[in-house]
Structure 1
């Protein structure tokens, strides 16, 4: 008799769990429907960086930050201009020094002695190299800006997540206290 009651209770419990059970896919679908999800594409920052590496400013256009494109071209253009100008002056001083060593006197820099020509070469060579480094730095900054901006576009800035200043009275001293509250609304 005990075996029959035990088997009957066991079958009854199995039958009830089958009726009230929920499959995993249904639970996931319910969870996805109730939660508000933003579509996050992890490749967006890489795409923006790649586009900026191919053509400076293209990553900013991909991020729809069109106002940054003139800044990128202004920075790169200015540094390239200084590179070209310093290279031209370096070559001018170098050629004048070489022609002076050969015994020819040029009209451009005839008023300078040899030491001043060597100092001018070093000055313009240093400025040319510095301009090349600044150009590379602006190019890398362009790529970095596009990458970071694309990553921050997907950042959650919802109203449910906030930090606000709060003024509240102290119960003991009755003075006003200042603080910050971190609010996260589910």
Structure 2
């Protein structure tokens, strides 16, 4: 009984020492290989807060997250999208106010700018049309603002991935001679 307990204790200690010794050597070898690979490929160190910062900056000021990511060419696109949405909102608001004022003037018995050309129902339909377009313009503007934030976040995430020219994804066709059919697929290739 004592021999078995000594044997198992000795075996346990031997395995423990062997495992810890390998872990230390593996850790140092892994750190050395990571450092050499990072220097070789000139990678930026991984920053887990970069996507959150980019999204926060874009939420504060549209386009600032794209500037943080170094994608300066996206800033005019973000402002053009927001500008177009705001332009259509303002234009539809002016037209809505124009038809609403004409309808109010007609109800009060005063002359309006559409006298004789548009009926009362036409004025009501025009108000509803421009009100709906104004709301759609507001939704589109909010969507573009949110898309700006999402773009900055996703772009910051994607900058931290390994994009190497040796890694490729290509379509592939394979002719099966036995069945007489062509099989289609994708192949992921890595060149050393």
TM-score in same-fold range (> 0.5): yes
Alpha-carbon distance between aligned partners in 1 of 2:185 and 2:162, rounded to the nearest angstrom: 24
The residue number in structure 1 matching 2:69 is: 63
Higher alpha-carbon Rg: 1
1:45 to 41, 45, 51: 51
Partner SS, residue 148 of structure 1: helix
Q: Equivalent residue of 2:164, what SS?
A: coil
Q: Does 1:110 align with 2:115?
A: yes
Taking a change above 3 Å as real, the CA distance of residues 185 and 34 of structure 1, as seen in their structure-2 partners, is: farther
Matched, 1:149 2:155: yes
CA distance in 2, matches of 1:128, 1:70: 24
Tell me what 1:124 maps to: 130
Q: Distance in 2 between matches of 1:116 and 1:122?
A: 10
Tell me the TM-score normalized by structure 1. Answer: 0.75
Question: Bigger CA drift: 72-81 or 30-39?
Answer: 30-39
142-151 or 23-32: bigger deviation: 23-32
- The alpha-carbon deviation at position 180 of structure 1 amounts to 5.5
Q: Aligned residue pairs: how many? A: 172
Report the TM-score, using the length of structure 2 for normalisation: 0.73
* Structure-to-structure mapping, 1:129-140, within 5 angstroms: 129-140=135-146
Q: CA deviation at 1:30?
A: 2.7
CA distance, structure 1, for counterparts of residue 184 and residue 100 of structure 2: 67
